[in-house]
Structure formats: structure tokens, C-alpha cells
Structure 1
Amino acid sequence: MSTRGRPRKFDRTKTLRNAMMTFWQQGYDNTSMADLVAAMGINTPSIYSTFGSKEALFNEVITLYRTSEGSKIWQETMRESSAEAAIKTLLTLSAEEFTQANKPKGCLIILGAMNPDDTNLPIHHLLQECRAESKENLISLLKRDIENGRLKSEIDCLAIATYYITLQQGMSIQARDGASKETLLSVAEIGLIAWPLLIK
């Protein structure tokens, strides 16, 4: 029996991962459908029929990234028993994860859509919300330490969390520009020197 017209079978998880690597390396705006076809190994109609649109595909990619490549940093950070230890883990793991061999440098959540415009606003807002969630995670850890008496109630949780998230995001950009793990670990170490001043 002829199979003409039937959709070609493919491994959905594998093709989604290939799309993730492409978006991670190039960003949402710089990734064309031709790039996705080449990376995913399926044709444009198959991409649209399976994922709906480039935007919908990217949304799935972000879900995959946050539960796979991007999960280690925050899982380990949120397990720490104190905000200070959590911030040290955040910065140290970021230096390591952002510079892994054989993977795009930096963080997809940070670098995926840097410049909002009419063509990518939903994507930009999605990543913005993910980044805001990261800051809220740090704020929650700082507030927990205030509640258990480790930190003074007068500290500015928002300012401290913003400072360290800004540092982490800068490390992602530096990694994309070629900074080594050792360089980023030095940045993390310098950032931690500020901790006693921030909680005075």
C-alpha cells in the first residue's frame, strides 16, 4: 500500500531538543524557519502541524529548557538552608553551567529575546516573567532568613535580590562573549564580597 501523503514519523522529544539548542545559540529573532528545519530534521509543514507556530514551538522549548538544561541552577539554589549559601550556589553554578563545553554559552532565559519589538513581544514577555520569577525566588529566601532571625528586618530584599540577579545575568552575557568558567567564578567571588555590606 502506498504511504504517499502520510506524515513522516519522527522523535518529537529529539526534534524539540534540537530546536532548543538552535534557539539557545541564536536567539528567537535570529532563528529562521530554515534554521529550524535544518536543526530539527523535519520540514516546515511538519513543524507547523506538530507545534503550531514558531512562537508556540519556542514556548515548548522554554518549558523543556527549564526542566532540563536550565533546572540545575535553581534546584540547587533553592535547596540551600540560607540566603547567603543560596546566592553563592546561584553564582557558582551559573559560572559552571553558562560555560559548559559542547553547549551554547550563557542562559536561554536571559539571552533568548533581548530586544522587544512588534514581532516578538509575547516571547519577550514570557522570558521577562521567567527572569522576574528568578528574582522573586531570591527575595523569598531573603525573607525566610529575616523570619528565622538570620537577617535583620531592615535589609532591602528587593535591592539585594536585584543586585545578584543582575550579576548573574551579566555573567550570562560575558559567557556568550567568551568568558571562561574561571573568569566567571572570579566574578562570583567578588560579588559575594559585597554580601556583608548589603545585609548591614
Structure 2
Amino acid sequence: MTPRPGRPRSFDRDAALERAMLLFWERGYDAVTTRDLTEAMGIAAPSLYHAFTNKRVLFEEAVEAYAQRYGGYIEAALQNEPDSRSAVAQLLIGAVRQQTLPGRPPGCLIISGATNYSPASAETAAGLRQRRAHVRDRISERIRADIAAGSLPSDADPDRLATYAVSVWQGLALLARDGAARADLEASVRTAMQAWPQPAAATPR
């Protein structure tokens, strides 16, 4: 006997994932219940489990969707800017613009998605920490390249500078969630970048 094909999904998976992502972005992982998700996504719990396995897997998919749709400014800055200072400045300005998008929750899902979490959510929080650490490591790589090229002083500390940049990045997200205006956050970025080391002095001929 030929097995009957599975029933087709009666919902748009991508649209449902988008709604879940926005809910996680707004409230954070632990504050969102399965019932909240099914109501926001417009599906029943069995459909959620069938399509996404469980809440944690759904969240991981939502974070990846968020990174693809809203986090492209990070890699664009780190890849395309000519030096680490320009890369960090562009990354921070991009963060401000992403974190204050009209019609979207303020702040950043990768930064605020699991700030306060229960022991059961430790693995989820660790995944977000790894993403943030990756950004810090990429910034550190750009700084090391500038030091090697002589465009930053040899005594500049790549890890400390990268940690400083990520601290500003995360702070902007918290201020955005508190309702800070985009113009004020952009001004904060300009102030923060004044602490960046000056290019290494050219050797006199």
C-alpha cells in the first residue's frame, strides 16, 4: 500500500517565522510563551512543533533570519571599509539605524534577546553570546591588520579596542530600547569614536 503524502502546511512558513522573530525581538526569549507564539504566528501548537520542532529551534531560526535581514550592516562595515576606525564607525552608525527602524521593535535581538534568562535557557543565551563574540573577534582582526600595516600605533591593544567597540554597540541597543532618538545616538557614536587611537605617525624622511 502506497503511503499517503503528508498534509500540506496551511500557513506561510516564512511569514510565520517573521512574526515570531518580531515577537522575540520585542520581548526576548524567556518572556515569550508558546501560546504567545501561536497567537502571533496565526497557527496551532501542533503546526508550530511540526514546522519548527520546539521554541528553542524556532528562536534560533528567528535569530538567523534577523541576522540576514537586519544585521548585514555588520559584515558590510567590517569587509568594505578601508581601516578599522572607519569599519567600527560605520558599524556603530549602522547599528543606530537598524535599532531605530520605524515599525520595528527598538534595539537589537542579538544583543537583547536573552539578557535575563532562566537556567533552562542557558544554551539559547550562549548562542547569542557567541554571535556577539564573533563581532568582537572580527573587529579585533581589523585592528591587528591596521597595526601590522603601520596605520595604527604598535602599542594599540586590539582586544581592548574591540571590547570597547562592542561595549558601545551594545550600549546603543539598550539606549534605543529606552527610546533614545536616532540623532542622539548618532551623536554618541561620533563622541565614542574620538577615543579611537590616531593613525601612527609617518616616519620622517
Distance 1:25 1:145, change over 3 A: same
1:52 is aligned to 53
2:190 is aligned to 189
RMSD across aligned positions (CA): 1.9
What TM-score do you get using the length of structure 1 for normalisation?
A: 0.92
Partners in 1 of 2:77 and 2:158 — Cα distance? Answer: 20
Superposition deviation, residue 196 in structure 1: 3.1
Distance 1:199 1:38, change over 3 A: farther
Superposition deviation, residue 33 in structure 1: 1.0
1:139 is aligned to 140
1:37 is aligned to 38
AA aligned opposite 2:24: F
AA aligned opposite 1:10: F
**Match status 1:96 vs 2:94:** no
2:107 is aligned to 106
Counterparts of residues 58-73 of structure 1 (less than 5 Å):
58-73=59-74
Which ranges in structure 2 are unaligned for 5 or more consecutive residues?
A: 1-5
Partners in 2 of 1:198 and 1:109 — Cα distance? Answer: 32
Partners in 2 of 1:92 and 1:58 — Cα distance? Answer: 26
Task: Give the 3-state SS of the residue equivalent to 2:119 in structure 1.
Answer: coil
Partners in 1 of 2:151 and 2:164 — Cα distance? Answer: 20
Partners in 1 of 2:28 and 2:118 — Cα distance? Answer: 14
- How many residue pairs match? The answer is 196
Partners in 1 of 2:200 and 2:37 — Cα distance? Answer: 47
Partners in 2 of 1:155 and 1:109 — Cα distance? Answer: 28
Superposition deviation, residue 6 in structure 1: 4.5
Cα contact 2:151–2:200 (8 A) shared by 1: no
2:121 is aligned to 120
Distance 1:199 1:27, change over 3 A: farther
Counterparts of residues 69-80 of structure 1 (less than 5 Å):
69-80=70-81
Partners in 1 of 2:191 and 2:23 — Cα distance? Answer: 33
Superposition deviation, residue 72 in structure 1: 2.4
1:120-159 CA-partner distances (Å, limit 9, x unpaired):
0111000010010010010011011112221122211111
Partners in 1 of 2:86 and 2:10 — Cα distance? Answer: 47
Give the share of equivalent positions with the same residue, in percent. Answer: 35
